[in-house]
Amino acid sequence: MKKLITLGISLFIVGCSIFRAPVSRREPEIKKQLMDQLEMYHQFKAIGIVNLSLKNLEMKSNFVLIKKENKLRFDVLEGGLLGLSPTPKAQVLNRDSLQIFIPHNNVVHQAEALNFFSENYVQRISNAEIKQEENNKYSVLIEGDLKIILNRKNLHIHKIIFGDFALEFLKYKKKFPRTIDVFKNNNLVLKMSFEKWSFEKISDDIFVVDYPEDVLKNKVSLEQVFSKGEINWK
């Protein structure tokens, strides 16, 4: 009886290895699916609820997120989702640099741009290395410090890792995640719950913001952006 059980387990393992397509065979499909997904995020507007968690700071608010190419605008709103507020609770712009405007404090914090928005990464996928992970995932290693992990079954993006940061895509509905978690050094700092995605044409003007003349400018590092004390988000 034990021999039969052992034989059955062995045949099951062998069968799984036979019917599981090797990475090399799926590589064109994996790269095409990844490029198609990144293309969907090339230009969009999304609304939802954000939870910010920085050490002892907890904040929950509505948000509007807009992206076009390598530009991004993220407005944390005081009230309901009635479009872009002229005076949001906080506003983040990522263009040539990262700018964080806190209207309540009349301060703009400036840091180096988050370059994971660069469209150059899409062009490098064709030369990327693909590995099969043990947890039913594929990892796509792109030149530099960018790593994208895909679910093996549907090839949806599961996680994007770049340096000390990681974006985790969760709870897919159709083609888009309902939740994206942002990690810094494996610590959860931002949880975005999406209520709506839209893909209308976006003007570049939306990424140009005129700050008050008396606004204070403060240069900070990305490390300081995600640590409590340097930036007063409230």
| Per-residue pLDDT at 216 exceeds 80 | no
| Per-residue pLDDT at 223 exceeds 50 | yes
For the residues 46-55, what does the mean pLDDT come to?
84
Q: Look at residue 1 in the predicted model and tell me its pLDDT.
A: 53
**Quick one: pLDDT band at residue 232, thresholds 50, 70, 90?**
low
**Quick one: pLDDT band at residue 176, thresholds 50, 70, 90?**
very high
Higher pLDDT, 112 or 73: 73
pLDDT tens-digit map of 187-204: 888 899 999 999 989 999
Higher pLDDT, 4 or 30: 30
Q: Look at residue 15 in the predicted model and tell me its pLDDT.
A: 44
pLDDT tens-digit map of 124-173: 788 888 998 878 899 998 876 788 999 988 999 999 998 888 999 999 98
Give the C-alpha distances (Å, rounded to integers) separating 200 from 25, 75, 121, 180, 221. 36, 18, 23, 21, 33
Write the secondary structure of the chain as one string of H (helix), E (strand) and C (coil).
CHHHHHHHHHHHHHHHHHHCCCHHHHHHHHHHHHHHHHHHCCEEEEEEEEEEEECCEEEEEEEEEEEECCEEEEEEECCCCCCCCCCCCEEEEECCEEEEEECCCCEEEEEECCHHHCCHHHHHHHHCEEEECCCCEEEEEECCCEEEEEECCCCCEEEEEECCEEEEEEEEECCEEEEEEEEECCEEEEEEEEEEEECCCCCHHHHCCCCCCCCEEEECCHHHHCCECCECCC
**Quick one: pLDDT band at residue 179, thresholds 50, 70, 90?**
very high
**Phi, psi (deg, nearest 5) at residue 227:** -130, 140
For the residues 81-90, what does the mean pLDDT come to?
60
Max mean pLDDT among 22-36, 85-99, 190-204 falls in 190-204
